[in-house]
Amino acid sequence: MKFFHLSDLHIGKQLHRYNLGEEQRDIFAQIVSLAKEERPDAVLIAGDIYDSPVPSADAVSIFDEFLTELCAIEPQIAVLIIAGNHDSARRLDFASNILSKHKVYIAGLPPMHEGERILKVTLADEYGPVDFYLLPFVKPGFVRPLLGDGITGYDAAVRALLAREEFDAKRRNVLISHQFYTAGGKEPKVSDSEVHYVGGIENVDVSALEPFDYAALGHIHKAQQIGGERYRYCGTPLPYSVSEADDAKRVTVVELGPKGEEPLIRELPLHPVRRVRKFAGSLQEILNAAGEEVCHDYVSITLTDDVEAYQPKEQLEERFDRILEIRIDNARTRKLAELSGEELVEINPYEAFGKFFAEMNGREMTEEEREMMRQVIAQEWEEES
């Protein structure tokens, strides 16, 4: 069984103020071309189809074109889609019953009421059936009507939902999931374009994925494994922040052999129309580097001139089409930073409240108080997101 693992398309996203519609159309055309060459049995898209719960008409058109081209490939490829935290689950679910008749399977919401189960899609190859479980983004508040008020965290919510399923251990099982998975407290590498709440509140430990021969994960924008080769984030198909400038974007290809064998995993390179690049140096050095092969890319520029250059922004804009940011890093700015006092350190709300509590009460919080605070913050984040 061969399938493509994609996630975090974020259709409609802007890179700073630049619309990425052209880049997204091009990269999806590359994925379709790779699908025609590789002939996978399925394409798995692990959430965050759109960048906004209310996508623009153009964003919807881009996804419609992508899906139509994938479905036109013969023999027909199954497409399995889940909602991520950026998606509107109910909008994504629209027409899912009709689409399933054309081998496009969509899960917008997790089980929320008695009698509902995680959507399971079964495909088969020469080694027998493969059961794909489509688990969209889960928040504890989604599943409390089904699982009870005792579900206070993301880890508990995911585990409780999986525990309701009857997995056949003799068959190959694949999970498609969009959560922040960690391995024994070790977090995946993240980039600046993700929404991630620090402090461990939204974490789900990968030990919950034990029943699965492969877990196709979404939510993290850097391709990587977490806790084992068969638990993988495939990353985004395009760079969506300056921090991803050096990331090689690829399509993850997974091949499942007989039950018990490790999956074969390889990556096919994608080539964006425009790269994201970082330049650092004097104004003249950066202007000299502005050749034809880079001047149309998205660029982040850090100027290191100690003497203020003449109209640096105007000179740079003459050479580069798409400047994301211009920063200054020289002896003067570093001196100003030193004079401004201690470097500001960003802490999460839980740590901030802990410091405030200790200052006001002259003691640290008890474990019971800490747990109460965790639940309050978790509930607040659920309501905001």
- 22-31, 90-99, 339-348 — which one is most confidently predicted on average? 22-31
pLDDT of residue 196: 59
Quote the crossing angle between the two packed helices 21-38 and 57-71, to the nearest 10°. Answer: 10
Question: What is the signed CA dihedral for 195, 196, 197, 202, rounded to 10 degrees?
Answer: 120
The overall average pLDDT reported for the chain is 90
- Find out whether the peptide bond into 269 is cis, omega within 30 degrees of 0: no
Q: What is the pLDDT of residue 197?
A: 54
pLDDT of 382 over the 70 cut? no
Question: What is the token pair recorded at 81?
Answer: 């889609």
* CA-based R_g, the chain, Å: 23
Condensed to tens digits (0 to 9), the pLDDT of residues 242-281 reads 999 989 999 999 999 999 999 999 999 999 999 999 999 9
Lookup: tokens for 89: 């689950």
Average pLDDT over residues 146-162: 93
Which of the four pLDDT bands, split at 50, 70 and 90, describes residue 177? very high
CA-CA distance, 47 to 175, in Å (whole number)?
12
Task: Specify whether the CB–CB gap between 90 and 56 falls below 8 A.
Answer: no
Q: What would the mean pLDDT of 160-187 be, rounded to a whole number? A: 95
Pick from 190, 278, 204, 205: nearest CA to 236 = 190
Helix (H, G, I), strand (E, B) or coil at 18: strand
Q: In sequence order, what DSSP letters do the residues of 234-300 get, joined into one string?
A: ---SS--SGGGTTPPPEEEEEE--STTSPPEEEEEE---SS-EEEEEE-HHHHHHT--TTTTTSEEE
pLDDT (mean) for 298-313:
90
Percent of the chain with pLDDT over 70: 91
CB 106 within 8 Å of CB 54:
no
Which residue type, as a one-letter code, is found at position 339? L
Q: How far apart are CA 261 and CA 264, in angstroms?
A: 9
For residue 357, pLDDT beyond 60: yes
Tokens standing for 360?
Answer: 């006001």
> Could you give the percent of the chain with pLDDT greater than 90?
75
pLDDT for the residue 243: 93
Cα(36)–Cα(53) distance, rounded to whole angstroms? 31
Q: Does 385 score more than 50 pLDDT? A: no
- What is the pLDDT averaged over residues 150-173? 94
Q: Which residues contact 232 (CB under 8 A, 6 or more apart)?
A: 5, 214, 215, 216, 217, 223, 224, 225, 226, 252, 265
Q: How far is CA 249 from CA 16, 271, 294, 313, 365, in A?
A: 19, 8, 18, 30, 45
Q: Is the pLDDT confidence value at 93 over 70? A: yes
Contacts for 290-293: CB closer than 8 Å, 24+ residues apart? 290/319, 290/320
| Helices 154-163 + 140-147 axis angle, to 10 | 40
CA distances from 377 to 197, 307, 371, 372 (A): 10, 47, 10, 9
Q: What are the tens digits of pLDDT across the range 96-143?
A: 888 998 899 999 999 999 999 999 999 999 999 999 999 999 999 999
Q: Is 90 exceeded by the pLDDT of residue 183?
A: yes
